[in-house]
A = this chain, B = another copy of it.
């Protein structure tokens, strides 16, 4: 399909990139907070739609992974949305624990300034060394 057809179709037709991947964003359905981004291949998207647990594809490990499989902090998928040209997936989720492996609720814990500096603006909520063993 072309982009303009993708905008109006009632069929899921994700525009995967040349590596067969699409970025997927996780949003907390209660707070509206954006929690993380990871990549999906077609199998990860299918499993997410069917099993309703956020599932991604790891480029470094070359395999699918379920968010929370190590930490227990799963993301329960309530709604899967796509954008107009179907090159991004949005998962609206119920969180079961904090999302970011660095120890924050969201991966977006830093604000960038025009001078190229980053400032941490969120509180750390867990110690990764105690959660990922």
| A interface with B by C-beta (< 8 Å) | 7-12, 23, 25, 27, 31-34, 36-37, 49-50, 79-85, 87-90, 100-102, 104, 107-114, 116-120
Structural contact, A10 and B118, CB atoms closer than 8 A: yes
Query: For residue A81, which residues in chain B have a CB less than 8 angstroms away from its CB?
Result: 108-112
Query: For residue A25, which residues in chain B have a CB less than 8 angstroms away from its CB?
Result: 25, 34, 37
Q: A10-B119, A34-B27, A37-B87 are in contact. Are A50 and B111 (CB under 8 A)?
A: no
User: Could you pull out 11 A-B pairs where Cβ atoms are within 8 angstroms?
Assistant: A10-B119, A12-B112, A12-B116, A23-B23, A25-B37, A50-B114, A81-B109, A81-B110, A81-B111, A81-B112, A89-B112
